[in-house]
Amino acid sequence: MPDKSMKICIVGGGPAGLSAGMYLEQKGYENYTILERLDRVGGKCWSPYYNGRRYEMGAIMGVPSYYAVHDVEEFCGITHDGPKLNRNYKNAKGDVIEPFEPKKNITKIPRLLKMKKQIQQLGEILETKYKGYDLNGHRGVAQGRYEGFACTPDREPVSGENPYLKDLALPFSEWCRLNNVELAQDVWIGPYTSFGYGYFDEIPAAYVLKYLDFQTCMNFVKVNLWTWKDGTQFIWESLNNKLKNPARLNSTIEKVERKDGKVYVTVNGVVEEYDKIIVTAPLYIPGERMDGQKGMVDYFDTRADEMELFSKIDYERYDVQAVLTKPEDHPEISYYVFDNMKKERLGHLMVYYRRWKDEKDQVITTYALRKHKDMEEIPYDKCKEMVLDDLKTMKNPASEVINEWSVYYFPHVFSDDYMAGWYDKVEAMQGKYDTYYAGEIMAFGDMDETAEYSRELVERFF
């Protein structure tokens, strides 16, 4: 029988860490502590206030298949009660376009018809040839097997052998070519690259398809989306308030030592003793960040196998600016700029978001990527200016920047390491040093995938 009185330290008060606390609590583990370095919970769900309403600096939306987020809603007695979302499209010149409307693109009708057929084919091969592709996490994929819980409300356990799953280690563009569905990228790119998750020629297909499984992507296409009136941060604030042990904010972890079956955590100068530790914060951050954030390997008594694996992690440089406009320059809707979602347009504005329909005195948030693994990284300040220039081109110039953020975003490994079994090696280490690894890297960088991975981690090991 598991010892439900054991002391468990959870590093990080974002969706993964708070969800771990909730799922542990539901299984009878109440002796847990959540340590959060910031003065707020929510991680990349950050919803500051402007003019009495909250705007989004991080996560914006969800879909009906966000089952872990729905677990949190039910636990807290809240629901997705935010504004209905919609969007339009512009080209790089700032002209409004309708790329998916045949009547407005007579010359593109053959391509649009072919794209529609390929999307249908994609749905079919995912259900058949790639059975098991959509399970949370990456256990067994590089070995041609699947193991986890089904993407259904009941999340029943499933497992099996499928050698085709090895294909998911390929970059998504290459995987699409392999399966003759290249035009499907025209649809998948909107909720993928513009949301900061990198480019299809560099990111393994497993990431793309586990986040944008077929039903999730179709929900984006149909704008069948969830939002929260008080922002995505409200979900995690509500959960934190409901937990028996809310996150301890402003907790700086200086050192973690694991010895003699115990974990010693030095936090704000005080040594605390635990039996187990769950790390939902970044495992590795290459180089130095402007905000001083560090990876686990920088403050743990890191072992050789941890360092060897975690040093292969990279992350996206994804920047958000919150701007105001003059009333006459305010966009009437959110816009996607597909032209700027190509690596050749690195650093340019990919999407800008208007949250509320009923007023012009509100924040517009802008989003840009400035790193591709094969290109020189664009400096932060240069990217910021490029985006502000793009807003002028879009005919929606900013009058003021009121907030900006360049967050540690979407940790991942590239195809060679994925193919070599990076995930299976890390999964084999779970619990080895009284340490469990969770958070974005173990599944994907959206709030539901990270929360769902915490649920599965608790199911498997506690």
Confidence (pLDDT) at 99 = 87
Q: Is the pLDDT of residue 235 over 80?
A: yes
Q: Is the pLDDT of residue 103 over 80?
A: no
101 falls in which pLDDT band (50, 70, 90)?
Answer: confident
Confidence (pLDDT) at 102 = 78
| pLDDT mean over 402-416 | 97
The encoded tokens of residue 451 equal 């929360």
What is d(CA 199, CA 220) in angstroms, rounded to the nearest whole number? 18
Tens-digit pLDDT profile for residues 378-397:
999 999 999 999 999 999 99
Q: Is the pLDDT of residue 105 over 80?
A: no
How remote is the C-alpha of 143 from its chain's centroid?
Answer: 25
Confidence (pLDDT) at 461 = 97
In order, the DSSP letters of 381-419 are HHHHHHHHHHHHHTT---SEEEEEEEEEEEEE--HHHHH
For residue 60, give Cα distances in angstroms to 128, 191, 304, 318, 338.
32, 11, 38, 15, 19
Q: Classify each residue of 183-219 as buried b or exposed e, where b means 16 or more C-beta atoms within 10 Å of its C-beta.
A: bbbbbbbbbbbbbbbbbbebbbbbbbbbbbbbebbbb
Give the helix/strand (H/E) hosting 71.
helix 67-76
| pLDDT mean over 440-460 | 97
CA-nearest of 403, 361, 85 to 232 is: 85
| pLDDT mean over 67-73 | 97
Question: What are the chain's domains?
Answer: 8-81+229-313+413-461 (3.50.50.60), 97-221 (1.10.405.20), 315-411 (3.30.70.1990)
116 falls in which pLDDT band (50, 70, 90)?
Answer: very high
| pLDDT mean over 431-451 | 97
| pLDDT mean over 50-67 | 96
Confidence (pLDDT) at 150 = 86
Q: Where are the alpha helices (DSSP H) in 249-318?
A: 304-310
DSSP 3-state assignment of 325? coil
What is d(CA 373, CA 34) in angstroms, rounded to the nearest whole number? 34
410 falls in which pLDDT band (50, 70, 90)?
Answer: very high
Tens-digit pLDDT profile for residues 327-347:
999 999 999 999 999 999 999
255 falls in which pLDDT band (50, 70, 90)?
Answer: very high
358 falls in which pLDDT band (50, 70, 90)?
Answer: confident
The encoded tokens of residue 115 equal 């794209």
Mean pLDDT taken over the chain? 96
Q: Where are the alpha helices (DSSP H) in 249-379?
A: 304-310
